[in-house]
Amino acid sequence: MRFRDIKKQKKRQEKSKNKVTVHYAHYPDRIKALITDMFMIYAPILYLITYVILGGKDEFQSSQWAPMLGVTLYGLIYAVLIAKFGQTPGKKAYDIKVVDDKTYENIGFFRAFIRFIAFLFSATILLGLLTPFYRKDKKALHDLICSTVEINIEKKNRI
């Protein structure tokens, strides 16, 4: 065997060792995780703003800054959870993690917050939420913008 052939064979073996199997999160699970997060994080924020800070629903409905404050607080909490753990409570319930699409490591706070803003934009135009149906890697528009991907994580021996 020639040296060149041995070297090529070694490179192929190294590539196959470094290859990571990734299971992309299913879209229905991602939607269920979002709904769970809305109930666990966003609803309490809105309740606190409505009844503790403003004193009632009439004041909330007449306020222009209260809904914006609620969305901003939700976005900040979302970004902190994604940056620190890679998961929100809803994503954890469905074994989903948000990671960088190349390194599969957690993303930073700023990138997570930009991803949240991009999600608001893609949800507004609806086209961004339909892109996972046409992509093999199941990325939505906000994932494409921020170079992230939602993957399924292995379940550790649960009882």
For the chain, which residues make up each domain, given as ranges?
A: 24-152
SS3 state at 119: helix
Say which residue, 148 or 156, is predicted with more confidence: 148
Between CA 108 and CA 94 the distance in angstroms is 22
The separation between the first and the last C-alpha atoms of the chain, rounded to the nearest angstrom, is 53
> Residue 1 — very low, low, confident or very high, per pLDDT cuts 50/70/90?
low
Q: Are the C-beta atoms of 74 and 47 separated by less than 8 Å?
A: no
Q: How far apart are CA 20 and CA 64, in angstroms?
A: 48
- The arithmetic mean of pLDDT across residues 96-106, rounded, is 92
